[in-house]
Amino acid sequence: MLTAEDLWYRYDRRSPWVVRGTSLSVAPGEVVGLRGPSGSGKSTVGRLLAGLLTPDRGEVRVGPRADRSGAHPVQLVLQHPERAMNPHWRIRDILAESGADRTEVDSVDGNLVRPEWLDRFPHEISGGELQRVNLARALLTRPRYIVADEISTSLDAVTQARSWHLLLNHARTDTIGVIAISHDNDLLAAVATRTIDLHTAS
Ligand SMILES: Nc1ncnc2c1ncn2[C@@H]1O[C@H](COP(=O)(O)OP(=O)(O)OP(=O)(O)O)[C@@H](O)[C@H]1O
């Protein structure tokens, strides 16, 4: 179980609290939506869950670490995959960053990453394809949870549906919990079994 208990966070001691007493829990294999107005702290909660930020108060608890040494059990996947990748690396090397060995990279799910992309650079595949590489890299770390922060926002409807279909298939097969951050209520209704609302302070 991934549990966040009474999380408080602000980026600066003089700034207002961005996260104010957020609590949530996500079971293995569960898909939970996280929505709220712009600026309500959704992405910040995502970073706290993935261990990229440390809460000022409260705590995040998750089961044992991922099998991969060094990989956090909660992987964060962001909207702009190109910002999370070295543009000078081939897709094969980007996937190997997960800790997967050559054989695992070569046998990655072909629906997610087509074999012919492996020797290309990020700019040599489309944005939707690059997001699938991003998802594959996160999945190769063998995470227990994935925080998907607006992962399909800049994609057309067909590509969006395809990316989510692939992610949810893997999540089901490997019992990975997913936290779907989105402004899109229709998307959340389609992918999540329940949705948590974050609200901005007055
Ligand atoms: N690195 C940062 N340093 C300082 N303030 C930040 C930083 N990142 C975010 N903030 C502030 O924290 C608040 C919450 O931002 P966050 O990105 O978590 O909200 P959000 O709900 O995900 O917004 P959106 O829906 O617009 O993406 C905002 O006021 C934002 O300006």
pLDDT value at residue 158:
87
Ligand 1 pocket test: pick from 10, 19, 38, 43 the residue with the most ligand atoms within 8 Å of its Cβ: 43
40 lines ligand 1 (CB under 6 A): yes
- The CATH code of the domain that includes 44 is 3.40.50.300
pLDDT value at residue 67:
59
At 52, list the tokens. Answer: 């990229």
Distance (Å, whole) CA 45 – CA 39: 11
Query: Is 170 domain-assigned?
Result: yes
Q: What are the residue ranges of helices labelled H in the chain?
A: 42-49, 91-96, 102-106, 127-140, 157-174, 185-191
Distance (Å, whole) CA 42 – CA 36: 7
ipTM above threshold 0.95: yes
36 lines ligand 1 (CB under 6 A): yes
Query: Is 65 domain-assigned?
Result: yes
Query: Is 141 domain-assigned?
Result: yes
Mean pLDDT on 123-136: 95
73 lines ligand 1 (CB under 6 A): no
Query: Is 112 domain-assigned?
Result: no
Assess whether pLDDT exceeds 50 at residue 40.
yes
42 lines ligand 1 (CB under 6 A): yes
* Confidence class for position 69, pLDDT limits 50, 70, 90: low
Assess whether pLDDT exceeds 60 at residue 134.
yes
Query: Is 18 domain-assigned?
Result: yes
The 10s digit of each residue's pLDDT in 145-201 is: 999 999 988 888 888 888 999 999 999 999 999 999 999 999 999 999 999 998 754
At 71, list the tokens. Answer: 């990989």
Query: Is 190 domain-assigned?
Result: yes
Q: How many residues does the chain have?
A: 202
Domain residues for the domain of 21 are: 2-83+134-197
Query: Is 116 domain-assigned?
Result: no
- Ligand 1 atom 9 nearest Cα: 44
pLDDT value at residue 155:
83
Distance (Å, whole) CA 48 – CA 168: 22
Query: Is 16 domain-assigned?
Result: yes
Q: What is the mean pLDDT of the chain?
A: 92
User: In total, how many domains does the chain have?
Assistant: 1
pLDDT value at residue 63:
73
